[in-house]
Chain A
Amino acid sequence: MIRPVKVVEHEKFPGIYVVEYEDGTKKLATVNLAPGVKVYDETLIQHGDKELRTWNPYRSKLAGAIHKGITINPIKPGVKVLYLGVASGTTPSHVSDIIGPKGVLFGVEFAPRVMREFIEKVAVHRENVVPLLADARFPTKYAHVVELVDVVYADIAQPFQAKYVADNADMFLKSGGYIMMAIKAMSIDVTATPSETYKREITHLEERGYKVKEVKHLEPYDEAHAFVVAQKP
């Protein structure tokens, strides 16, 4: 096994680490908020009194976006995040690591089976995670639980995702807060070429008053995916 030789904090983003290996390769990592517990096939690395979890850009679009050089990452220690489409928790677990014990992640997912996994593998082990089995298209159904948040993170691969994301952000995002959204071109509309879909989704966010700050294509980490960061004025 190749041993890690150096661990440094990410130069721009607090709460995120870079692990350097003997052979010169580098990997992103976060500090495990639930020591000893793995969520997917990440590696656990002991570093001083902390345990790090490596963060795979091929498995997580946020890690992919960081590798591709996004310059804004509002997900940092202490913030509140509304996460739409947590699935079984791959990316959400890293978000939970980053925001730490002072942050809160409200995690919405509507597929019961993956929600079950999310509860047992992620939510019960992490006190900053509040799981919500709900449909992100109907935000008033969880409006009694979710507080105003710093970030709305969306990865729900729905047609017209931007509309639902904006609906959620209208209700729950602080002014000055950020939307982070992964657009999967193929499943949103198979007939349109990827760039058309991206454009339509991005235009929608702008029409709803959100300022699009960054758009990154996630190749090669993810085929036909784009990652959007937008801000609420």
Chain B
Amino acid sequence: MSAAPAMTPTSGESARHDDSGDQVVGARLSDRLRRWRPFLAAAALLVLVALATLLTSPRTSKVPYAIDNPHDDGARALAELLRDEGVDVTNVESTDAALNAAVDGATVVVLNAGQLSFSERWQLAQVGQNVVVLGALYQNLSGLTEVTSKGSSADEGTTLKPECSDPDAVAAQTLAGSTGSVDLEYVEDAVGCFPVGQNTYAYATADLDGGGTLRVIADPRIVTNAKLTTAGNASLAIRALGHNERVVWLDASRLGLVTTVWESPLRPPWLPVLMLLGVIVAVALAFVRGRRFGRLVSEDLPVVVHATETAVGRGRLYRRAGDRARAAQALRAGTALRLGRALGLPAAASREELLQATERAGGRPTTQIDHALYGPTPANDQDLADLAVHLEQIESEVHQR
């Protein structure tokens, strides 16, 4: 019994001391790890480089007027300039965060102020801190201030002069046109600079209800990277925004956008988390069920060739070729062979002998048998089938007697 070693304790004992006694297929985990070490090291290096690149490269965006947008319509240049001046510029995603920062002494820069709700604007006015509104065209500022937005503009060719006492505006000296303006007609203590038309200004300051100063730059484009170097844009923007140690950047048009699948008001809050857990459980289940308990055992099976396959194939060839002559001949030859054997005729018996013997045995007239056995080739498939049946009948009649 070569296949079955003796089952004595000594055999197990000797196997333990044997170097090759380990029957487990495959190398040890430590050996495998050692073999994979170059690949593992390369993968780790790759991950490290990727992480380092991700962390060190500044995050940029393409959002207009955003402080991390380095493109023409961004405000990254302004943010960097302010940072150079020692002003901390950060983005905030919600009004609450902006209000909290304002309480801590930060200037709130509001873009698209009209998209804040009335109460949010009111809260902003009451917080008692400097607020800068960038862009007044088509923006509703009610609640925040009495300053109203006007559509009158000055094209880029026009050089606007401050014509006011505001030090920031005076320092800026000129502006090259302004798209949109503000109206200060019903506002007390408001100062309007860079007049665009009758009682409309490109820049204005006013006091807020809760204390603090509101500054409105009617045309937001003066803070963009593309326009910052034009005329006194940089000067005005830095001075207007740089009154405090800290600036928070609030884009009111993007407040509702940064929602995630976890914070949708349409579903109960636990549902998506439960679905996440469900996915994890499914993965674990797949691993439990999918892990094979040992490899598949293969087996060489014998070929399946039916012995009748050649006959079936040849029959199909006859049919496709419509070879009725050959088919009929084969049927007749087979019947004649069996008839001759059943009637005890020698293999060399003549046609006449066979016909007469068959007539004697079966009782059919010779002419019929002759027609079936030696008649013409059937004209169509139906005749061939009839002939086949006829031959079988003759044969069975002979066998019955």
Q: Is this pair of chains taken from one and the same complex?
A: no
